């Protein structure tokens, strides 16, 4: 289970392996980036590589006693701290950081370094973060802290500034597809669907229900079909339903993919480039009367909306607007569009 076991993330891997090779490991790292893309896994592999008993010093063998114990969280010089997932509002409490402080004071028992992995570090309470700050200000030489966070902006700047930051971007979709084919033993078309539905987050794609994902896509295709888009009432109902079931961001992502595919079909691009190649007949039928410039404009618009997501974006209104603009792009303006409710 060496570094190569983690898909993508070539840059953070190279930085960590260079540090291992030259024995210049920082006292604290902050692994940050989207959820479910491999930050925690790489942090674990790094912890293994630091104390591996049989590797070359810059990777983990995955099979020695130390590597196995870190994997099983039973290594005496390794501690993983994370919020209690059973709680309604999972937090890392001050007691957990106090426990870490207590352990970090002692020399390693069996290995070179004591490694502390703090997962979902942004979920530390203020008290916990302040306690950790004291350790970060004067870390013992024998210790390494690995903070993992999907929301680094939620961490105090004082904590962030004392860590070497490693930014993780989602791996390329093709890399995720290849990994899914291998690890889930599914056909390429299904792998492509899961990679797209998970926004290239392998962690999520590995556990996604394939049948449910197909069903969700069927539903979305029905909503975005020219037949449904003909009715403004149907658009408003669909936007409201998606919003109420908390699927707004997911539907917006999918609409971006669908619009992109429609545009590619519209301009006659090869079908290899389509995300939803398996829905080619639907895409072709919808693109028949589509206007490429309007689709391109819509793609920009969705991109803008996605960037403002999280900043009080009214998702229901955003979905309504996107669907109404998709309607304009796919259906000729004029007599064919009904302003009323019936199909």
Binding site for Zn ion (CB under 5 A): 52, 61, 64, 67
In the complex with Zn ion, the residue whose CB is nearer, 19 or 129, is: 19
Closest CA to 78 of 42, 34, 36, 108: 108
CB of 48 to Zn ion, least distance (A): 6
Angstrom CA distances, 106 to 27, 96, 102, 118, 308, stand at: 16, 17, 8, 18, 47
CB of 24 to Zn ion, least distance (A): 20
In the complex with Zn ion, the residue whose CB is nearer, 108 or 156, is: 108
Q: Are 259 and 293 in contact (CB under 8 A)?
A: no
Could you tell me if residue 8 is left (phi over 0), alpha (psi between -120 and 50 degrees) or otherwise beta? left
In the complex with Zn ion, the residue whose CB is nearer, 62 or 248, is: 62
Q: Which residue do the tokens 């008290």 mark?
A: 127
CB of 59 to Zn ion, least distance (A): 9
Token output for 115: 């490694």
232-244 and 315-330 helices cross at what angle (nearest 10)? Answer: 150
CB of 115 to Zn ion, least distance (A): 13
CB of 37 to Zn ion, least distance (A): 24
Could you tell me if residue 334 is left (phi over 0), alpha (psi between -120 and 50 degrees) or otherwise beta? left
CA 165 to chain centre: 18
In the complex with Zn ion, the residue whose CB is nearer, 77 or 261, is: 77
Segments in 56-186 forming alpha helices (H)? 65-71, 94-104, 126-137, 157-160, 173-184
Residues in the chain: 343
Look at strands 78-81 and 28-33 and give their pairing: unpaired
In the complex with Zn ion, the residue whose CB is nearer, 67 or 282, is: 67
CB of 251 to Zn ion, least distance (A): 44
- How far apart are the C-alpha atoms of 233 and 264, rounded to whole Å? 28
In the complex with Zn ion, the residue whose CB is nearer, 75 or 162, is: 75
CB of 21 to Zn ion, least distance (A): 16
In the complex with Zn ion, the residue whose CB is nearer, 64 or 337, is: 64
């Amino acid at each position: 289970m060496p570094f190569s076991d983690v898909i993508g993330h070539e840059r953070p891997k190279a930085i960590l392996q260079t540090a291992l090779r030259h024995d210049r490991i920082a006292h604290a790292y902050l692994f940050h980036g989207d959820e479910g893309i491999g930050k925690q896994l790489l942090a674990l592999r790094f912890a293994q590589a630091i104390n591996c008993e049989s590797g070359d010093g810059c990777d983990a063998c995955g099979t020695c006693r130390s590597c196995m114990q870190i994997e099983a969280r039973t290594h005496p010089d390794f501690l993983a701290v994370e919020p209690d997932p059973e709680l309604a509002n999972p937090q890392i409490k001050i007691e957990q950081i106090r426990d870490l402080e207590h352990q970090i004071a002692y020399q390693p028992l069996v290995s070179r370094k004591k490694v502390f992995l703090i997962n979902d570090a942004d979920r530390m309470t203020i008290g916990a973060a302040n306690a950790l700050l004291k350790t970060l200000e004067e870390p013992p030489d024998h210790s390494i802290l690995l903070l993992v966070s999907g929301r680094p902006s939620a961490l105090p700047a004082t904590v962030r500034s004392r860590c070497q930051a490693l930014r993780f971007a989602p791996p390329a979709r093709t890399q995720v597809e290849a990994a899914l084919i291998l690890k889930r033993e599914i056909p390429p078309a299904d792998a492509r669907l899961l990679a797209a539905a998970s926004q290239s987050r392998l962690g999520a794609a590995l556990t996604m229900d394939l049948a449910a994902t197909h069903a969700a896509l069927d539903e979305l295709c029905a909503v975005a079909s020219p037949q449904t888009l003909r009715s403004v009432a149907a658009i408003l109902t669909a936007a409201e339903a998606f919003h109420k079931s908390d699927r707004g961001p997911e539907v917006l992502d999918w609409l971006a993919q669908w619009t992109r595919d429609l545009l590619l079909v519209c301009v006659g691009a090869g079908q290899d480039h389509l995300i939803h190649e398996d829905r080619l007949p639907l895409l072709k039928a919808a693109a028949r009367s589509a206007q490429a410039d309007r689709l391109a404009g819509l793609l920009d618009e969705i991109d803008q909306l996605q960037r403002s997501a999280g900043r009080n974006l009214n998702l229901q209104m955003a979905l309504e607007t996107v669907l109404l603009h998709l309607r304009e792009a796919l259906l000729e303006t004029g007599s064919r569009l009904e302003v009323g409710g019936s199909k």
